[in-house]
Homo-oligomer: A and B are copies of this chain.
């Protein structure tokens, strides 16, 4: 019944289907049976590709984390004044979030019930910490306003960026990742109020 489909399956398409189901039902609420039905292949075919749903979770959040940590290796994130590097990182975070939307959505919803989830949470904290350090360096350079505490500012900026997964839909309003990234950078660094 599913043999015709099975041939066309790759680990990549299986991962994409799994991420959709995880985001829809929650990771805890997803069984191999759900994955099998959504993918249209038997459970044993899934086990041919991966050891189980936790491996699919690990691959999915790895993809999101690789995208985010990749930003920190980019030249504009490594070279230059801290405030410019910070601006680059904020812009690229929005772009990665949108281009890898289902993967980053899953990463942001991870709860910590399994080893893989706890590992993902720890990696997220590492990433947040890197961005917080950049913000601190920009503040130390005197490029950021002095009346917003660094840790609080970091949380608010992450809050704004991460909230994009709640409303952004690729085929919705025709907004691309560039337009959203521009808006985030403008609000975060320049604020909404027109300069006097």
Contacts and interface: CB of A to CB of B under 8 A. Distances in A.
Contacts of A153: 183, 187, 192
A156 B144 contact: no
Number of this chain's copies in the complex: 2
A175 interface: yes
Interface in A128-164: 135, 142-149, 151-153, 155-164
A54 B146 CA distance: 46
A148 B160 CA distance: 15
A68 interface: no
A157 to B, nearest CB: 8
A188 interface: yes
Contacts of A160: 156, 159-160, 163
